[in-house]
Amino acid sequence: MQELPDIIRLIILLSLKRREHLTKSQLTHRIDKYLARNTAIEPAELEKALDEMASEKVVTFTNGTFVTLTKEGIRLSEHWKNLLTKREHILEFIAGLADGTITSLVIVLSALLVSLPAHIMMWTALLGLSAVAITNFSSFMLGSKTEDIADALSFRALMEYSVNDISDRGERTKSLVLVKDLFSILRRRRTKTNLRAALTCSITTFFVGIVPIAFFSFIPAPFNVFFSFGVIGAMSGILVRYRAEKSKVHWKTTLVETLVIIAIAVIASLILGSI
């Protein structure tokens, strides 16, 4: 971000949605709404930014009137939205899968070792999973909000430092105001994103944990063991595949890492539970 058009291009990428066709006036209205009508972008500035984006094949003009994102534009837009608004809850989903899988595995193994009655096991499982889910919700809500504020301040400081080199005083002032307004809106959006992320983690934890425990409690032996461990294995497989896909690491490496971490957590939990 070194010039005013760079900031306008970023705002356009954040404002446009996938497969959306907007006229320039509609796009201007969307940007004004996005910035809470605090800063007006001149039509000439918007035109210049759109022409540059069209030359870079980020946007295209349909029938010479409507503006829409190209495949490259959609990719860039999603990257910026994930970076600035954390729209994709990767960490929260992985944490929910891992915590639910580990909790259910510990409870099922404990029930097998001490032969707990079904109703006691189910009550213990509900209490344990609820505690883990609520803890995850509060941890991600507070931790993500604190981290997001720190990230937003760092991003804003870097962008303001970049645009401070603009020689034109009027353009530099407008760029700084745009950056300030943009991050004011992003902070509000991230608050909503944090709530969704915390809910994603807690609900995933509870759902992934309760399903195998319910199979173990209500299906007659020995089928309950096969069904519960089958569900735990399936959830572990989803966790491995999701981690490998998002980290672009071979699934065998991710499988080993995941199994080692789950094994350490389960063994430690069983040892502590037996003390």
pLDDT of residue 264: 87
Whether the Cβ atoms of residue 162 and residue 2 lie closer than 8 Å to each other: yes
Sign of the torsion angle spanned by Cα atoms 136, 139, 145, 151: negative
101 pLDDT above the threshold of 70:
yes
73 pLDDT above the threshold of 60:
yes
Whether the Cβ atoms of residue 176 and residue 1 lie closer than 8 Å to each other: no
Whether this prediction's pTM lies above 0.85 is answered by no
Name the least confident of 12-21, 82-91, 207-216: 82-91
Provide mean pLDDT across the span 111-127: 76
Percent of the chain with pLDDT over 70: 92
Rounded distance, CA 220 to CA 108, Å?
14
Confidence band of 275 (pLDDT split at 50, 70, 90) = low
Query: Which of 131-140, 142-151, 158-167, 263-272 tops mean pLDDT?
Result: 131-140
Residue ranges of domains in the chain, CATH in brackets: 4-83 (1.10.10.10), 89-274 (no CATH)
pLDDT of residue 156: 73
144 pLDDT above the threshold of 60:
yes
Which of 62, 63, 29, 58 lies closest to 43 in space, CA to CA?
Answer: 29
Give the pLDDT confidence of 218-266 residue by residue, as tens digits.
888 788 888 889 999 999 898 888 888 888 888 888 888 888 888 888 8
Burial of 131 (0-12, 13-18, 19+ CB in 10 A): exposed
pLDDT of residue 68: 84
Give me the DSSP letters along 69-127.
E-HHHHHHHHHHHHHHH--S-HHHHHHHHHHHHHHHHHHHHHHHHHT--HHHHHHHHHH
SS3 66: strand
Give the pLDDT confidence of 37-67 residue by residue, as tens digits.
556 677 777 788 888 888 888 888 876 677 8
Rounded distance, CA 267 to CA 252, Å?
22
Which of 66, 68, 48 lies closest to 6 in space, CA to CA?
Answer: 48
* Residue 18 neighbours by CB under 8 Å, 6+ apart: 69, 74, 77
Rounded distance, CA 181 to CA 247, Å?
33
Task: Residue count of the chain, please give it.
Answer: 275
pLDDT of residue 37: 57
Sign of the torsion angle spanned by Cα atoms 56, 62, 66, 71: negative
Confidence band of 1 (pLDDT split at 50, 70, 90) = low
